[in-house]
Chains A and B, each alone.
Chain A
């Protein structure tokens, strides 16, 4: 399985992915690694409606999603893997998923978070987890839809910290 995009997005499979990234990468499979979605078959059915028929959709909790990725390691299908938060992404890495880079495409505002980009707001714990992910040699890139400028997230984090001090 060729992980063409691993993305952190709190809205998971919305139009930026279903239109923007799918048209750009033409994947064979979209894998949503999320407990909450996996527990709701009705929601899974709704999510499938937003995709063209040429893309397969799989929804699983983190551990099973990691299993799917590892089991399909030898096939050549192009896969987009979606998780809700940096913490979920870290759990995927812990479960043995290997990837060179992770795309941060949507971490929205909540009370007490600070803004890095219009679509990336981080809290203290987010920063910690993101640093951990980066320390495993995974490159963190912030970009919402293909064609827009992309940013090195670690650089943004460090720059933001300097301004805070």
Chain B
């Protein structure tokens, strides 16, 4: 159990590095970090389900301007863990655990955003120090500064995940044993959130650009055709 959580937080730290500090291979995209988290907690389908919803919601976010994006990878990893942990209690409906996991992911991602601001402030200090040493003619070590910053970025994600899992693990048995309410069907809420997510893609791909509507309609027509042919 503890080992599983450590692996999860390690993965969250690595995916968080991928957002800005290194690689940008898109490990930080919720579908990817959600799937990875799903495998780690032993429930890939939960990982994919929560990952897909978050991927939709955040597909319009861009690293433009001074406000950082929500911390998607750490939020996603925590949310997937929470949903899977609720399922394991056996006392909740599947739609409830998925919805709860989604909400946890959104909350942790928002909380993570302010820690990204702190991280950048520390990076700024590292850089100021380096430039000061440089202008006063002392030796500077760029590689060491870079390694320091990478370490900081990893541990920000790792520790945020540890903290979030630690705090939320108190909630798991409480919700799992609540009975009644948590056993209800929450599918409609999930549908509404997915609608919101698809709406984000509408604003990215179909809105305001002339001639995109035929492409969209073509996609609809093809999908309907295949559906009908298939059954």
Contact = CB atoms under 8 A, between A and B. Distances in A.
**Contact between chain A and chain B defined by CB under 8 Å:** yes
A119 B208 contact: no
Contact of B64 (A15, A54, A118): A15
Contacts of A117: 66
B64 A26 contact: no
A148 interface: yes
B133 to A, nearest CB: 15
B208 A145 contact: no
Nearest to B127: A109
Contact of A148 (B62, B66, B210): B66
A20 B65 contact: yes
B142 to A, nearest CB: 19
Contacts of A148: 65-67
B206 to A, nearest CB: 13
Interface string A101-133: 000000000000000011100000000000000
Contacts of B64: 15-16, 19-20, 144-145
B140 to A, nearest CB: 17
A119 B67 CA distance: 11
Contacts of B66: 117-119, 144, 148
B154 to A, nearest CB: 23
A148 B210 CA distance: 27
Nearest to B128: A109
Contacts of A23: 208
A67 B208 CA distance: 31
Contacts, number: 22
A15 B66 CA distance: 13
Contacts of B67: 148
Contacts of B210: 54
Nearest to B135: A111
B65 A16 contact: yes
A16 B62 CA distance: 10
Interface string A63-78: 0000000000000000
A17 to B, nearest CB: 10
A19 B65 contact: no
Interface in B62-89: 62, 64-67
A148 B64 CA distance: 10
A26 B67 CA distance: 22
A144 B208 contact: no
B208 A26 contact: yes
A117 B67 CA distance: 11
Interface of B: 62, 64-67, 208, 210
User: Nearest 3 CB-CB pairs, A to B?
Assistant: A145-B65, A144-B65, A118-B66
22 contacts: A15-B64, A16-B64, A16-B65, A19-B62, A19-B64, A20-B64, A20-B65, A23-B208, A26-B208, A54-B210, A117-B66, A118-B66, A119-B65, A119-B66, A144-B64, A144-B65, A144-B66, A145-B64, A145-B65, A148-B65, A148-B66, A148-B67
Given A19-B62, A119-B65, 6 more contacts: A16-B64, A20-B64, A23-B208, A144-B64, A144-B66, A148-B67
